[in-house]
Structure 1
Amino acid sequence: MTARDDVYTTVTTLLPAGEGDQPRRSRQIRTRMQALNLWAKEGWRLRDSIDVPAGDVIEVHDTLERTGTNR
């Protein structure tokens, strides 16, 4: 949850890294995209995305920026 005056927030998604996990990875990527679309409807936009290999998963860290802020 974010505070009303927050300008940035991060959403993290864990994706399986194994070759045999393609169907599960595809589902989780679709879920990630749906989540980002929901954030966009609330006035956030994707600013940056970083993929971090972490053993048998890949951590995807999406940094979101609130649109329409006065900075």
Structure 2
Amino acid sequence: MSAGAYLVIRCDHRPPGGEQCDRERGWPVYVRNHTELRRNLKAQGWRRTRKGKDLCPDHSGRPTPSDPNTP
């Protein structure tokens, strides 16, 4: 029996004096590494900053494809 790893990305947003965002996201199919996972989640609005933080669609400043206000 072999065990696999389920890769997850967590939102690193933390407002000054506030609590950290608790959103996390994985991918339902096999991905080899976190870079591939981030590439897949980019289409859903997730973003990686230059400082190395992962941000969920709520904090990335990008509209999600399911947002009805998206042109």
The TM-score with structure 1 as length reference comes to: 0.32
Q: Which one scores higher on RCO, CA 8 angstroms, separation ≥ 6?
A: 1
**Structure whose residues are more often strand by fraction:** 1
The TM-score with structure 2 as length reference comes to: 0.32
**Structure whose residues are more often helix by fraction:** 1
